[in-house]
Every structure is written in C-alpha cells, then in structure tokens.
Structure 1
Amino acid sequence: MRFIVAILTLLILGLVSAAPPKVISTLTGKVIGVTDGDTIKVLVNRQTVKVRLEGIDAPESSQSFGTKSKQALSKMVFGKTVTVKKTGEDRYGRTLGVIMVGGLDANAKMIKDGWAWHYKKYNNEERLAKLERSARQAKRGLWADANPLPPWEYRARKRRPSTPPAQSSG
C-alpha cells in the first residue's frame, strides 16, 4: 500500500511541476528597450521595469545567434504595449514573466522560432519543451547550427578561469 501511495505522490508532483508557473500579478506597459533575446524594459506607470522572459534562455549578445535572437524579440515587442504575467523575480531583481503582445505569447514564440532554448532548469512546462523539439527538428533559428552552445554553458565557460595549455615535459 505504501508503494502505491508513493507512486501516486510522485505522479501528482510530476503533474504539478509540469504546470505553467503561477501568475502573481499582471503589468501592462510599453516596451522601451530590448536588452537581449530574453530581457526587455517595459514602461509601466512612468516606471521602467526590467523583465526577464520566464522559461526561456536566449543566446548571450556575444554568442552566435545572440544578435539575431535580440532582433527577433525586438521585432515582436519593441514599441508595443504588452501585458506581463508576472511569475516572480530572479536573483538580479528582474521581474520574471510571460510577455503577451496582441494575444501572442512572446516567450513561446521565441522558442518556436528557434531563437531561444526552453530553460528547463527553472521551468519544465511540457508545452515549451515540445516547441523546442519542433524548432530543433525543423532547424529553425539557432538550430540551423549543428551543435549550438546553450547560453548557460557559455556563461559557465566564461566564469571559469582559463587553464593554460599543457606543457610537454620533453
């Protein structure tokens, strides 16, 4: 009996964690800046709010496809009125949220078009995982590259001190 309860508990936890992040509040404002492919600045009641798109991780600006990713997001949202479905804050104090522009989920569109990864470390929505798989298979956006470097790996490599090449002993 305990085994069945344990299995049911794991199944329920799995279903809960695959659910979309809980929306805390919503903000509406005009996008006045696009920092990169996953961060924007929104003017809300005369205050600038920095928003990190929930569930995605786009290439860094200095990385392959970083510029194209930023351009794709800019084309979608810059100068437009958006609704931010706030889901929390990240460790840098940025608002985390889902960006809605004209009924379109910009976060999902960035993944669908191949300009961002589904950021599974912080979000395990199956819907976003499916969009990434589809973009990979169709070789859309950054997936045109045979083996694109995920931004979290790129950042980790930049943080590590360089190791000098091995010296031969002969």
Structure 2
Amino acid sequence: MTPPARHCRVHVLWWLGVCLAWPVSAVDEGAAYAARVTRVFDGDTVWVKPLQGGRYRKLRIDGIDAPEICQSGGVASREALARRVLNQVVEVRVHRHDDYGRGLARLAHQGDDVAAWMVRQGQAWSYRWRRSLGPFADEEAAARAKRRGLFGDASPELPRDFRRRHGPCQLP
C-alpha cells in the first residue's frame, strides 16, 4: 500500500471510530428538548415530534406502568394521558432506550411531571423493580387511599401480571 493510500485509510478509520463513539444526538438522549405530543398509544407510551425538527420519536414514560390497553382501566388511562398532553408541548428528557427501541423518558407539561400526575390520578402504578415500590410510591399510596382511577377497584392487576397471564394485547 502506498503511503498516501495508507494515510487515507488511517484517516477514514479514525473518522469511523469518532462517528461510532459519538452520542446518538442531544435530542435523543440526555439533554432536554421541547416536543409536541402527536399520538397517545396507551397510558405510558406517546409519540412526539421535536419542535426543533427531526423525526418523530416513540417514548415510554419512565417510572410508571399503565394498564394494558385491553386490560381493565387501559382505555381510561390512555384517555387521561391524552386529555393532559395530546397536541401539547412537553419537555422531554430521554434517559435510555428499552428493549423495543423506545426512549425511556421523563415528560414535563407546564412544569408538572407527567408520570407523577398519572399516578396521582390513579391511572398508572409507580414502576416496581425488585423490592422497590418505585419512584412514585407516595403518589400511588395517596391515589390508593382516595380510591382514584384504577385504585377504585378492590384489587387492580399490575400490567406485568396481566401480560404474564394473557400475553400482549391484540392490535385492532
């Protein structure tokens, strides 16, 4: 290989390494950005369009678990979230991506944490992990005490238990 060709190859490999190591984008992870909610899929999944432009993004709201759409309370949960954020501008902060490629994000609407609001309304559970009652355990306890939303039922079924028994909901 001639010296100029070797130099070019080294240069290309260096740039390839830089590109692979570069973060996806500030809009995808870490930095907060403003976006309009364009679709509410269920009580913890939305589609947003960043105001600064770029592609639509499917996000799962971090810290909560809402009923499956085919589960008791699922439609009410989706409708509550839609009434709050559909066609509204929210602040998005993506922390990581889940196994399905969705961004796990914290959303704020008019300064209020959307996940905490959903749990306070009794439309979602604080996401449990191992022995932890999750980040919104206090909000969930208050909603249970007031028998709000899905906690009006004597024994609401956690979505993960519902999925284990029934599998995923069928798409319409």
TM-score by length of 2: 0.75
CA positional deviation for 1:25: 2.3
Q: Deviations over 1:94-136 (max 9, x none)?
A: 0011111111111100001100000112895865101101111
- Alignment correspondent of 2:62: 54
Partner of 1:6: none
Q: Aligned partner of 2:66: which letter?
A: A
Given residue 157 of structure 1, which amino acid in structure 2 is its aligned partner? Answer: R
Q: Tell me what 2:112 maps to.
A: 104
TM-score with structure 1 length normalisation? 0.76
Displacement over 3 Å in runs of 4+: 122-127
Runs of 5+ unmatched residues, structure 2: 1-28
Residues 26/67 of structure 1: CA separation in 2 closer, same or farther (3 Å cut): same
Aligned match for 1:141, one of 149, 152, 155: 149
- Matched ranges for 1:36-115 at <5 A: 36-44=42-50, 45-115=53-123
* Alignment-derived partner of residue 8 in structure 1: none
Amino acid in structure 2 at the alignment position of 1:61: I
Q: Percent identity?
A: 36
Give the count of matched residue pairs.
138
Using the alignment, how far apart are the partners of 2:166 and 2:134 within structure 1?
30
Distance 1:59 1:128 in 2: 16
The correspondence for 2:166, drawn from 118, 141, 158, is: 158
Q: Kindly tell me: are residues 123 and 92 of structure 1, through their superposed partners in 2, closer, same or farther at Cα, counting changes over 3 Å?
A: farther
Alignment gaps of 5+ in structure 1 = 1-22, 161-170
Q: Distance in 2 between matches of 1:50 and 1:155?
A: 21
Check the 8 A contact 2:127/2:135 in 1, yes or no. Answer: no
- Alignment-mate amino acid for residue 141 of structure 1: G
Call closer, same or farther: CA 1:59–1:126 in 2, change over 3 Å: closer
Change (3 A) 1:63 1:106: same
- CA–CA distance in 1 between the matches of 2:36 and 2:130? 26
Q: CA deviation at 1:159?
A: 3.6
- Structure 1 stretch 147-156 or stretch 119-128: which is displaced more? 119-128
Which residue identity is paired with 2:49? Answer: L
Tell me which residue corresponds to 1:30: 36
DSSP-derived class of the 1:98 partner:
strand
User: Structure 1: which amino acid aligns with 2:40?
Assistant: V
Distance 1:49 1:139 in 2: 34
Letter in 1 for 2:69: S
